Chain A
Amino acid sequence: MPLGWWTRQRHYFLYTVREFTAVPLALWLLWLLVEIKRAGDGPARYSPHGSTAFVVFSVIVLLFSLYHSYTFLTLAGAIIHVKVFDRPVPSTLIDLSQFASWAVASAVVAFVLVWFGR
């Protein structure tokens, strides 16, 4: 297979981007681990990341993470087949339930992160 196969069709390119989302997400989680470790430095030396470069990095990671979420959660409609009263549940309904769970989880986590920041 030629090296640049993934640039030749939009579908291949998006597939490769989907698989690549692992890299920025992994880097951001490692940053979070460092942020946790820095709490051990003591109150005088603790200073959380807040530079413009870090915010720009986070914005780029957010775009990749939203793409991962969208592609992963919409997979559910394709792979989950359930029946209710002998009738198959439509895949769009399964997708919607995935996105609703994502919205609820995001709201809860955001509330906790902000509430305990006061």
Chain B
Amino acid sequence: MKRPAFLHLIYWFAFSTGGVVAAVLIPVHVLVQGILGPLGVVRVVDRHYDTWVSVLGNPIVKLYLLVLIAAPFFHFAHRLRYLLVDLGVPSAKGVPAQAVFYGGAVLITLVTIWVLLTTVPISFG
């Protein structure tokens, strides 16, 4: 009897979710926070301590930032692992490489949760 490919299901769900988040959300953050804000074209929330801290305390913003930062790393892990395979590193297909790449994405997720929970306290104001 064929076993259901649950691990593939998880990999592909994580890959596609991270890909969608990266495709839909990252360009606007890079444009606004990385270019327009630093150039002074527009006033951006992270350019000033008061405005940055006030939004970082919001639990919805914390959840949004967790998804924005952590989800794409599962997509990146998959892409980079297979890029290495394509560039002539067959060991990137193996279990140790999977542990490193997907473990790295899990580690980034945990660090992001830690940063979001410890940097600015949650406030509903």
Contacts and interface: CB of A to CB of B under 8 A. Distances in A.
Interface of A: 1, 3, 6, 16, 19-23, 25-26, 28-29, 32-33, 35-37, 39-40, 42-43, 46, 48-51, 54-55, 57-59, 61-62, 65-66, 68-69, 72-73, 101-102, 105-106, 109-110, 112-114, 116-118
A57 B34 CA distance: 8
Nearest to A108: B28
Contacts of A40: 118-120
Secondary structure class of chain A's binding surface, majority of residues: helix
Given A62-B34, A105-B24, A37 B39 contact: no
B45 A113 contact: yes
B54 to A, nearest CB: 7
A6 B22 CA distance: 24
Contact of A26 (B28, B49, B56, B73): B73
Contacts of A58: 30-31, 34-35, 38
B48 A55 contact: no
B72 A25 contact: yes
A32 B29 contact: yes
Interface residues of B, number: 55
B30 A65 contact: yes
A8 to B, nearest CB: 13
A39 B52 CA distance: 7
A59 B45 CA distance: 19
B50 A29 contact: no
A43 B49 contact: yes
Contacts of A39: 49, 52-53, 56, 119-120
Contact of A118 (B43, B75, B88, B116): B43
Contact of B35 (A16, A48, A62): A62
B38 A62 contact: no
A62 B116 CA distance: 25
B89 to A, nearest CB: 11
B54 A116 contact: yes
Interface string B54-69: 1110000000010011
Given A22-B75, A106-B24, A113-B33, 15 more contacts: A19-B86, A22-B80, A23-B80, A29-B73, A32-B33, A33-B112, A46-B52, A48-B52, A50-B37, A55-B38, A58-B31, A66-B27, A68-B26, A105-B25, A106-B27
